[in-house]
Each structure stands twice: as structure tokens, then as C-alpha cells.
A and B are shown apart, each in its own frame.
Chain A
Amino acid sequence: MTRFLAVTTTIVLAVLTGTAFGEETRGVTSNEIVLGMHTDLSGPAATYGVSSSNAVKMRFDEANANGGIHGRKIKLIVEDTQYQVPRAVQAGTKLINRDRIFAMIAALGTPMNNALFKDQFEAGVPNLFPLSAARSMYLPFHRLKFVGAATYVDQVRAGINYFVAQKGKKAICAMYQDTDFGKEVLDGAQMQVDALKLKLVETTTHKPTDQDFTAQITKLKGAGCDLVVLGTIVRDSIVPYAAARKIGWTDVDFLGSAAAYDLFVAAAQGGVTEGLYAMGLTDMPYRDTLGPAAQSWFDRYKERFKAEPNIGAVYGYVAADVAALGLDRAGPNLTLDSFINGLESIRSYHDIFNGPEVNYGSDKHQGANSSFLAVVKGGRWTRLTEPLSF
């Protein structure tokens, strides 16, 4: 009984000490802006969650070191969802109700984001640049949804268009993982294939944790595909591609989405991913190919976090940069409306990683929708084309 009381009192005290008194706009005081982030720090997508949260933290710390934005320091609260929806709901309720955040930034996971939308938008908390490229992140259009770059559907459609138009591919197939992300890629492939009056010859699916893909590759080879669209992430991009080349299937190309555009995929042991294609959004953070500003960022990241940044860190940094720009353009009187106006007034923004030009508007909350084609050469990603569209 006493223990229960002690714990309750502790919680209540903690809550009270965490609340700011008498602010009109949630999450904003005269000297602080509170932003929240729910991401996967210890589950299956932890490689992206950890690096993106680090990069966002770094960007906001740099802003704070320069005196904050209009005199307000940014406080970032990160919650771990372990890539599970109930935990994401718990984390989201905590951020929205107890921490009273102003906005959610770089949240990771399509179902996690989807689950929180209803409560989040009811409370008037905008969702900025989530680390998910599903269409539901900005469709149907909502004033509080902001997305930075091309969705998986946009990427895949652009890629298929290129291969059919430039390389004359006819038999398109899809291999996708049995998750909402994989389904998005499948939908994108289906949409483009329909638009080009072709047919999806064969599709296979697999669980993200599967080890062996011989069965799927056999099925696809038997159907005579010449382009296989991959709805896969890191491990399940490497293994099936390697398996296909091992059984001597060389007259086919494999195209992944931006989810396969990862350092690890290119650098796979034994050069097994040589010749794998993927759609990219920004430069891959190989230090020697980055511009000078990005190189300096690379060094700062490495010094602070004792690890090299990956593409997740790039996405996180760009998200935080655009958010900071929006906060700046909102002016000293920061409210939800002034912030949204600030974001919507962004034109011709270029990030330091050679990403596409980003424009927003009052009915355009997707910054850019182009992506480029890249291929693995010599263990590294090499950019092949200019931004593609469909």
C-alpha cells in the first residue's frame, strides 16, 4: 500500500515538474520549444532509428548553441517504440499529453505513424517529415501532415518507367516483404505497370526475418522476369539478389526502393550485391563524395557519436533542418498557424546532400517527389541518373 502511494506520488511529482505553466500554444514558452520523436531504438529498424534520432539531436543542439530560434531553445524528447504499435501508442500519448509537445518530428514506422494520427491531429500536433515513405504520411491531405521527399510509390513508379522506357523491359515482377511497407512497393509497381499497359508477371512475398529465398527466386525465374522490383529492406535485399546471381540468373535486373539504398547493402560481403539497382533520394554519406558542408557534418557526427552516419542520419538531419527553417520563418510569435505558414512558405530549399529541390505551399505538403537511380559498383552506391519522374 505504502509502496503504491510512494510510486504514485513520485509519478505525480514528476508530471508536475515537467509541466510548463500558463503557456497558450502547447509546447512553446518564451524560451523553449518542445518537440517529440517516437522511433525504433532497439527493435528491427534500430539502425535507422538510432542514427536518425542522433542526427536530429545534433541539428537541434547546433541550433541551440547559436542562441536558439528567435531566442527559444529546442528541447527534443525521444521515445523508443521497439517497432511495436501498442508501444508507439503509449509513447505517443505520453509525448502529446504529458510532455505537451509542439510537433512530432522524424517518427519512424508506417503503422506507428498511422496509429497515432487520429489523436495527434485532434490535439493539434503536426507530424513533420516521418521516416516512412508510405503514401498515408501525406495522403489524404491534412494541414498537419508534412512530408519531405518521394514516397515509395513515387520512387518505384519512376524506376519502372526508366527501365521500361530506356532499357526496354517487358516482364515486370515484384518480390515484397509481407508488411505494409512491402505492400506499398507492390501497389506502386502495380500502378505503374497498369499505366504502361503491361502486366505484373509474378509476385512473391516473404517475412522480413526469412533466411532463405531460394523458393521465391525459383518461382520468379520460372516466370521469366526481366525486372524484379524489390519491396525489401537491408537483409532481404542482399540475400535474394545474391541467391539469384548464384544460380546463374544474369539476364534480369533487380530494382529496390529507397529502403534498399543503404550503405550496408552496397558493402555486402564478397561483393554479392554488385549490379543491384535502387532509387535514391540524397547522396549516400561516403565522405569522399560529399560536398564540403556535408563533409564537415560527417566529421562532427562521427566525433560526437563515435560511429559513421548512415542514410538514416541523413534523413534525420534534413528533417530537423527543414523543421528549424520552418520555425525560423514562423517568426518570433510562434503559434501553430504561424509555424504552418512558415513551413508552407519554404521555396527552393536544397539540403547539403545534393537532394532534390524542396518546395511547399498551402496545398502542397510533400516537399519533392523525384528520386534518382543508383547502382552498386565496386561495393559502393553510384548515382546513375538525374531525378526521375513518371
Chain B
Amino acid sequence: MRFIFKTSYHQDLGLFQDRQERNWYLALALGLLLTPFVLPAYLGDLSLMLIFGLCGVSLMVLVGYTGLVSLGHAAFLGIGAYTHVYFSQDLALPWVASVMLAAAVTAIAGALVGLPVLRLSGLYLAIATLAFALIIQEIFSRWDSVTGGIKGKAVERAVIFGYAIHEVTFYFLCLGFLLAVLWFTRNLLRAPAGRALIAIRDSELAAQSMGVNLTFYKTFAFAYSAAIMGFAGALFAHEVGFLAPDIFTALLSIQFLLMVVVGGLGSLHGAVFGAMFTALLPVVISSVRDSLPDWLGWAFGFFGTDASSAISAAVDRIVKQPGLEPGILGLMLVLFILFEPRGIYGRWLKIRLYFSQFPLYQRPTFTQKKSYMKSERFR
């Protein structure tokens, strides 16, 4: 058990609580920097994970911290991707300028979506954002000159200041973006703006009474969230290499929401954990699917070769069933919500507390009081 004695205001202002925490994060950073050299075959998936991390942060700010549920965030990803590709390929702007412009355009789009839906709450807001997303998706399909229409558009490799960006450098680029956005968002949330957002989530009426300008902050939340999505969209375009309107569907938006909920609503760590879960689970499933029958066959080989090959064949048949993967994802989501509603980050906190308070850890520390459902229509 550690007790942190505070002797100066610097400790409150700093990003990390104490030296130990900082050292852990430095170790993590080192690990992330070395990963491309340890796991070169997984670079594409890791870059996708970092991009999803950006999406997770974006959605976390809107859903986890401001309490506005958006079912249409994939559309912002699309706007970011298409604008960046248009500016950098069709208009041949330099890469950095193109990305900044893409984020700005997406932020404006976010504000435009956020303004009309100010009076809506809960489901109505979710459906309104869904409607916007479908309209935007339709615009992607129709606006041939800019987006290439239904046929789609191929995306070239990024070229920054004359250097072509390949796999390893792209990974570092994504990592850099994610760290910068995390740092910026963390500071935003500690500032008055962030506290205003959290106040809006907890009770709009109370926030209004305390002088929080709802219009401004809700629109700001939408715009900020959309801007981060714009960055993510630009990187996503390079990662996937081909843009088509039917990538940015409502299903993708729901997947982002899933990511945020499984990661842990209400914390930036949750966004990153969620991204790891969403991007890496398909990889794990497919590797397991290829090697599980062999491993189980080997494990059961102690019972004789017949049993071993029978088990191997049976498991192979089960595991190669089509349609299993979305079911597994759904099942994991259900299990998380049932047994660990705070998400992966919540579980991580419990584990950390267990080790730091060993052997005095108490289970009821985290138990939620049994509560009754209260109508959210009359908050």
C-alpha cells in the first residue's frame, strides 16, 4: 500500500501522480516503441488498433464524459477520410495541411450536427445522429467528383515532407497522433471545459443552474469529438488503402460504441482498452482458430491417437463454422455488461488495487449498491 504525500502544487498539476506511475507509463511507451521490431507481422493490426484508439477517445469524450450518445460517428470517420484523400490526392496539398484541414472540416460537420440536436436527449439524440450519419453516407455515394461515388477510391501511401511512409513509420505516426490526442484530451478534461462536460452528463438541470452554457458546451463536445475522428479518418484512409461508402455504416458506429463500453465508460484508459479489444480480438480469434485444433489434438494425444484426431476434427468443425466471430464479439459484450459493467478498465483497476493492497483487499470496495431503475425521462 502506498501513500502519496503531497508537498507542492506541482504534484496536483502534473500529469502523473508520482514517480512510480510515471515510470510505469514510460515502460509502456518503451514497449510500444519496440513492438514493430518484435512483432513485425502484426504491424497492420497494431496500427489499426491505434487508429481505433483515436476513435475510442473521440467517442469517449462525447458519450463517456458528456453523456451524449451518438450512433453515427462512423460518418465523421468517413468525412475525415474522404476530405483528407481529396485534399492530399486531388488538390495535392501537403500532407500535414491536408490532415489539419480534414480535421477542421470534420469539426465543422460535427458542430453542424450538434446544433440542431441540442434539445434532444437519450434515444432521440441517438436516432437523430443515426439519421445524420445515413444522410452523410448517401452524400458519399452521390458526390462522385469528390468521393469517387460507389465505386470507391484508392488511397496512396502517405508522403510527409518528401518521405514516403511505410509500415513501420506509419505505426509510429499513428502512435504519435494517439499520444498527442490523449495528452490534449486529458488536459481538456481537467480544465473547466472538461468539468462542464461532466456536469452536463450528470445532470443538465444542475449544470444549467451552475452557469454552464449548454448550447456552447454540447456543440463544443460534438465538434471536438468530430475533430479527433477527422484525424482518425485520415489515418484510417491510409491504413485501409481503399475508401468506399459502405465502410462507414451504422454497424461500424455501433462497433465503436461497443468498443467504448467494453473498454470502460468514463475513462480515457477505457478508450484504449476498448480499441485493443476490438482491433485485436479478430486477430486472436483467427490465430486460435488455425492452431486450436492442433493444440487440443496434441493435448489429448495422451489418451491415444484416435481420441486425439477425433477431438481435433470435432473442434476444427466447430471453430471453422462461419458466422461465429460476430457471435463471439456479441457474447463478450454481453458477458462484460453482465459481470463487469465498468469494462476492462474497471477490471484492471480492481486487479491493481488487489496487488497494491495485498493482503487487505476487500471485494465490496467496488460493489455497486443495489439500485432501482429510475425513469430517465424525468431527470
Contact = CB atoms under 8 A, between A and B. Distances in A.
Q: Are A and B close enough to touch in the complex, i.e. CB under 8 Å? A: yes
Interface string B31-53: 00000001101101100100000
A328 B326 CA distance: 39
A119 B239 CA distance: 11
Given A82-B326, A98-B41, A180-B150, A115 B291 contact: no
Interface stretch (B1-9, B93-101, B192-200, B242-250): B242-250
A12 B323 CA distance: 26
A86 B247 contact: yes
Interface stretch (B56-64, B169-177, B281-289, B361-369): B281-289
A7 B242 contact: no
Interface in B202-248: 239-242, 244, 246-247
B284 A18 contact: no
A142 interface: no
B340 interface: no
A42 B291 contact: no
A183 B148 CA distance: 12
A41 interface: yes
A293 interface: no
B323 A87 contact: no
B159 to A, nearest CB: 15
Contact of B326 (A42, A50, A85, A178): A42
- Interface residues of B, dominant DSSP: helix
A17 B322 CA distance: 24
Nearest to A187: B151
A229 B167 CA distance: 44
Contacts of A17: 291
B152 A114 contact: yes
Given A17-B291, A180-B152, A85 B41 contact: no
A84 interface: yes
Given A41-B323, A89-B240, A7 B284 contact: yes
Nearest to A136: B151
B242 A114 contact: yes
Contacts of B41: 15, 97-98
B154 interface: yes
Contacts of A86: 48, 240, 247
Contacts of A93: 44-45
Contacts of A98: 41-42
A91 B287 CA distance: 11
A11 B244 contact: no
Contact of B325 (A7, A80, A97): A80
Given A49-B322, A80-B325, A90-B45, A85 B291 contact: no
B330 to A, nearest CB: 12
A258 to B, nearest CB: 19
A49 B240 CA distance: 22
Interface residues of A, number: 41
Contacts of A90: 44-45, 48, 282-283
Interface string A128-164: 0000000000000000000000000000000000000
Interface string A107-137: 0000100111011000000000000000000
Contacts of A82: 325-326
A77 interface: yes
- Best-surrounded residue of A14, A78, A84, A183 (most CB of chain B within 10 A): A14
A179 B151 CA distance: 7
Contact of B240 (A7, A46, A85): A85
Contacts of B185: none
B143 to A, nearest CB: 14
- Interface residues of A, dominant DSSP: helix
Given A7-B284, A14-B291, A94-B286, A118 B322 contact: no
B46 to A, nearest CB: 11
Contact of A183 (B38, B150, B239, B241): B150
A79 interface: yes
A152 to B, nearest CB: 13
A287 B6 CA distance: 83
- Best-surrounded residue of B38, B41, B44, B244 (most CB of chain A within 10 A): B41
A78 B282 CA distance: 14
Interface in A151-204: 178-180, 182-183
A85 B244 contact: yes
Nearest to B276: A4
A233 B122 CA distance: 38
Contacts of A11: 39, 42, 283-284, 287
B152 A41 contact: no
A89 B44 contact: yes
- Best-surrounded residue of B42, B150, B288, B290 (most CB of chain A within 10 A): B150
Nearest to A49: B322
A87 B45 CA distance: 10
B89 interface: no
A136 to B, nearest CB: 8
B75 to A, nearest CB: 15
A111 B152 contact: yes
Given A14-B287, A18-B290, A178 B241 contact: no
Contacts of A18: 290-291
B154 A118 contact: yes
Given A84-B247, A93-B45, A118-B241, A178 B141 contact: yes
A85 B242 contact: yes
A183 B283 contact: no
A130 to B, nearest CB: 15
Interface in B102-150: 141, 149-150
A45 to B, nearest CB: 12
Nearest to A17: B291
Contacts of A46: 322-323
Interface in B273-299: 282-284, 286-288, 290-291
A87 B325 CA distance: 12
Interface in A16-51: 17-18, 41-42, 46, 49-50
Contacts of A180: 150-152, 244
A119 B241 contact: yes
Nearest to B240: A89
A116 B155 CA distance: 11
Contact of B247 (A77, A85, A183): A85
26 contacts: A8-B39, A12-B38, A14-B287, A46-B322, A46-B323, A79-B286, A82-B325, A84-B247, A86-B240, A89-B241, A89-B242, A90-B44, A90-B48, A90-B282, A90-B283, A91-B286, A93-B44, A111-B152, A111-B246, A116-B241, A178-B141, A179-B246, A180-B150, A180-B151, A183-B149, A183-B151
Given A49-B322, A115-B241, 4 more contacts: A15-B287, A86-B48, A89-B44, A114-B242
Interface of A: 7-8, 10-12, 14-15, 17-18, 41-42, 46, 49-50, 77-80, 82, 84-87, 89-91, 93-94, 97-98, 111, 114-116, 118-119, 178-180, 182-183
For the complex of A and B, the 5 pairs showing the least CB-CB separation, nearest first, are A41-B322, A42-B323, A115-B242, A93-B44, A42-B322
